[in-house]
Amino acid sequence: MGDLLAQFRCLSCSRRFSAQAPDTMGVVGRVFASGKPEFCGDLQALKPPAYLRYREAADCNLHSMFAVPVYSGDSPEAVAVVELLWHDRDVPFEQAVTRLQSCFQTVGLHTAEVDFSDITMGINMACLCEHKPHN
């Protein structure tokens, strides 16, 4: 499975994403521009523009995704976006994000607040829900 993650990373590095042009934003660009996390319990149910790398995700057997903006100090603008990916469907996002937030705190960074009470499995964020899944 690790080789597939490395393959997805390599494929992702060959792409350019915008934080300004909606059709080429992708998840990372949307999260960076909006400051709102996005998550999905099954990437295989998405297609562009909801998830621009859906074919690569399918080829690498990736299903769950969580992307969160990262902030430094009191700055209201994100300095980065971290995207976490899993081979499993419907992973426990709360555990992963809580651990990620703890790691960031040790180096003076923090993420956007995430309300886990609203998480249901499947496609979970408004901007992902606006796009119809493919069959």
Beta bridge partners of 85: 65
Distance between CA atoms of residues 67 and 43, nearest Å: 12
Q: Is the pTM of this model over 0.85?
A: no
pLDDT tens-place string over residues 24-58: 778 888 888 888 898 888 888 887 878 888 888 99
pLDDT tens-place string over residues 61-73: 999 999 999 999 8
pLDDT tens-place string over residues 87-118: 998 788 888 889 999 999 999 999 988 877 65
Distance between CA atoms of residues 55 and 42, nearest Å: 13
Distance between CA atoms of residues 101 and 112, nearest Å: 9
Written as one string, the DSSP assignment of 5-24 is HHHHHHHHHT----SS-GGG
Q: Which fold has domain 2-125?
A: Beta-Lactamase (3.30.450)
